[in-house]
Structure 1
Amino acid sequence: MKKLLPTSTAGSLPKPSWIAEPEKLWSPWKLEGDELVDGKKDALFLSLHEQQHAGLDIVGDGEQSRQHFVTTFIEHLDGVDFEKRETVRIRDRYDASVPTVVGPVSRQKPVFVEDAKFLRQQTTQPIKWALPGPMTMIDTLYDAHYKSREKLAWEFAKILNQEAKELEAVGVDIIQFDEPAFNVFFDEVNDWGIATLERAIEGLKCETAVHICYGYGIKANTDWKKTLGTDWRQYEKIFPKLQKSNIDIISLECHNSHVPMELLELIRGKKVMVGAIDVASNTIETPEEVADTLRKALQFVDADKLYPCTNCGMTPLSRGVARGKLQALSAGAEIVRRELSAK
């Protein structure tokens, strides 16, 4: 019997202070060489323990071995020069100094497969692994080679597909592609964004997910959210096509955001990871608040397809706050589970 309302996180969790400066994106490593290799494993093990202790049903690596959810993957590819930097506008919101694509992109060796293998050895629970999606990858680079967002996205999709197949082979159950860019470039998403995502999942037998959020709780994102008004309907532009896509699960931001729940009707039939934890606030939700978000979602998502989750990654939060939020997620899901079984 598969558990109803299986809980998980969107991906990243805070890192221990001995490996990187906490509550900070792109925080440099405090260790190097073999110590860093061991330190990453220790942090991953600790992160797994915290997820299990909080009662999560689907676990991940907490992205403990990566500095950033996009650039760490790109660092391992050929064709991208990290010394040659340009300033670009990321997701039409903030400027960042990014590496340059200087030649054909390719992947010579697996990026996360050893980490996934290590995680698989530690637990029998279902594992979800996050990879950056093609559109979000191109949005975090300066392209001096292909000079076409679409062309570069197709190249990245092929590379992601190679990585995903190897992750599946070492026992990953759900492979999630992070595509916050899907909430910004609607025409491109419909023209080729979803198609490149489908290329990235080609031939996979494990479950696949796409995570589309309004971003980490950093100032550039929270400022942007203030400009969106009281009704966030961005998802409306891309849901119809996603509903028809081959992606199994759609992961969304719901709690404390102004996303109208009825938009979930547009993806009826898909499994939905409903973000019931706000990652842009240090306030720890009560289990009842989590349950309330899930109940609202259940009007538009069948109970056997609803996966309670966090809105986004938790890297910028303190470990104590993240811990409290994960426990609230589990407890809130349990409240609704009991209500459903009483029916």
Structure 2
Amino acid sequence: MLQTMIVGSLPRPTWLVPPHQMYVSWQLQGESLQEGQDDAVRLAVADQEVAGLDILTDGEQRRRHYIWGFCEGLSGLDFSDLVEIETRGNRYGHTVKAARVTGPIRRPSSVLIDSLRFLKQHTSKPVKVTLPGPMTTADTLADAYYGDREKLAMALAEVLNEEACELAENGCDMIQFDEPCFNIYLDAVEAWGIKALERCTQSVSAKTAVHICYGYGVSAVLKWKTQNTDWGHYGRTLPLLRTSTIDMISVECAASGVDPAVLAEARGKDIMVGVIDVGTEAIESPETVARRIRTALEYVEPQHLYPCTDCGMIPRSRTAARGKMHALAAGASLVRSELAGGADH
């Protein structure tokens, strides 16, 4: 019960990446970069092991960005001539640089298999690999080829499925698709977003998950959260996902205004519940984490509940990230002991 994990990312060492960068510029090159990334993964795994987490990732230490890290391995995309586009429904009021879609999207070779193999060499615990979801990836590209957002997303779903199947065949225990856009384009989620997500998971032998959050703990997102008054997005997406082929759903509950009662809309699915706020350096106490888990347990059966972070921890300091992981594991342990004691009686 209550197996713990992070969403995926951890802050990178400053000798590998300048601090507080979301779109990474590597400090190293060539063989030094490879060695530096290997060392960063070893540290990320060690931090999770020491904290006592149950399911591990490589901290996404090798990726420049959670979307670009996969897309740079594809053909049909031009990263040499980036253009400015609005993304996420312009929720945060700024544009971002985007690669152009210039031809049919293909996956010439595996993108993350070597990273998976390295991760598995350094832990005996179950491991998770994260991939960008097709809707969110389509929203982050400048399409000059398909001419239709759904067609682009389905093309991305094809190559994501190829990667996910290969990851599963090579021993990945869990494959997570990151879809923050599922909290933005609700009509599109219903029209074709679920279909694209299910295409990603077709014939994948590992457990599949979808992560739906309100964004990283960065200033633009935090500003939006303080002004937002509508937290009803999960009320539309969770019922759709409940009848989908996806195995697990990840939701943000610690730092959002989401009513945990909405978790009942996905009853029967495994649920990763965010009980760690990734938008602050403050480290939760185990008691605070335990209280959040107990609230979630009012709507999710213990065997289906996976305590987690709200989102990735790239923006946080390494000290805060370590502390938050320890609190996550300790808080889950408190509740696990309570549940075991109740069973004894």
Coarse TM-score class (shorter-chain normalised): over 0.9
Alignment TM-score, normalising by the size of structure 2: 0.97
Alignment partner, residue 21 of structure 2: 24
Alignment partner, residue 200 of structure 2: 200
Supply the RMSD in Å over aligned alpha carbons: 0.9
- The equivalences for 1:1-343 within 5 A come to 4-92=1-89, 93=91, 94-229=94-229, 232-343=231-342
Give me the whole-angstrom Cα distance separating, in 2, the residues matched to 1:46 and 1:36.
15
Give me the whole-angstrom Cα distance separating, in 1, the residues matched to 2:81 and 2:23.
18
Percent identity of paired positions between Structure 1 and Structure 2: 47
Gaps of 5+ in 1: none
Give me the whole-angstrom Cα distance separating, in 2, the residues matched to 1:39 and 1:168.
26
- 2:234 and 2:262 in contact (8 A); partners too: yes
| Displacement of 1:95 | 1.0
1:84-128 deviation line (CA, Å, top 9, x unaligned): 222111212231011110111111011111000111111110001
Aligned-partner SS, 2:313: coil
Aligned-partner SS, 1:97: strand
| Displacement of 1:256 | 2.6
Give me the whole-angstrom Cα distance separating, in 2, the residues matched to 1:203 and 1:167.
12
| Displacement of 1:27 | 2.5
Gaps of 5+ in 2: none
- 2:173 and 2:207 in contact (8 A); partners too: yes
| Displacement of 1:83 | 1.6
Give me the whole-angstrom Cα distance separating, in 2, the residues matched to 1:167 and 1:124.
17
| Displacement of 1:220 | 1.7
| Displacement of 1:339 | 0.6
- 2:209 and 2:249 in contact (8 A); partners too: yes
- 2:253 and 2:275 in contact (8 A); partners too: yes
Give me the whole-angstrom Cα distance separating, in 2, the residues matched to 1:248 and 1:261.
20
Aligned-partner SS, 1:216: coil
Structure 1 residue identity aligned to 2:152: L
Give me the whole-angstrom Cα distance separating, in 2, the residues matched to 1:256 and 1:218.
13
Q: Which moved more, 1:252-261 or 1:302-311?
A: 252-261
Aligned-partner SS, 1:276: strand
Give me the whole-angstrom Cα distance separating, in 2, the residues matched to 1:111 and 1:245.
26
* Matched positions, count: 339
| Displacement of 1:22 | 2.3
Q: Which moved more, 1:116-125 or 1:51-60?
A: 116-125
Structure 2 residue identity aligned to 1:240: P
Alignment TM-score, normalising by the size of structure 1: 0.97
1:26-79 deviation line (CA, Å, top 9, x unaligned): 131000011111111111111000000110000001000001000111111101
Give me the whole-angstrom Cα distance separating, in 2, the residues matched to 1:41 and 1:118.
8
- Spell out structure 1 runs of 4+ moving beyond 3 A: none
